[in-house]
Amino acid sequence: MELTGPVEFVRPFGRSGSARRLRFHADDPSAAVAALTRGRAAAPPGPGQDG
């Protein structure tokens, strides 16, 4: 999944990082796509995006 902007995070040994994309696996891909689609429809536009 590609994010609208970088997300800061802390790695397990304390180093900080920044991510723009997330990779994950789903047992039920259809349910994951449906949840992401619902979340995207409900979210306000991100920075630099038109409503």
In this predicted structure, what is the pLDDT of residue 7?
94
pTM above the 0.85 mark? no
Range of the domain at 15: 2-41
In a domain, 30, yes or no: yes
CA 20 remoteness from chain centre: 8
**Total residues belonging to the chain:** 51
DSSP 15: -
Task: Give the other-Cβ count within 10 Å of 50's Cβ.
Answer: 4
In this predicted structure, what is the pLDDT of residue 29?
92
In a domain, 47, yes or no: no
Q: Which helix (H) or strand (E) holds 7?
A: strand 2-10
Please tell me the distance from the alpha carbon of residue 20 to that of residue 24, in angstroms, as a whole number.
13
In a domain, 49, yes or no: no
Per-residue model confidence as pLDDT tens for the chain (51 residues): 888 899 999 999 999 999 999 888 899 999 998 988 887 677 666 666 665
> What's the structural domain count of the chain?
1
In a domain, 50, yes or no: no
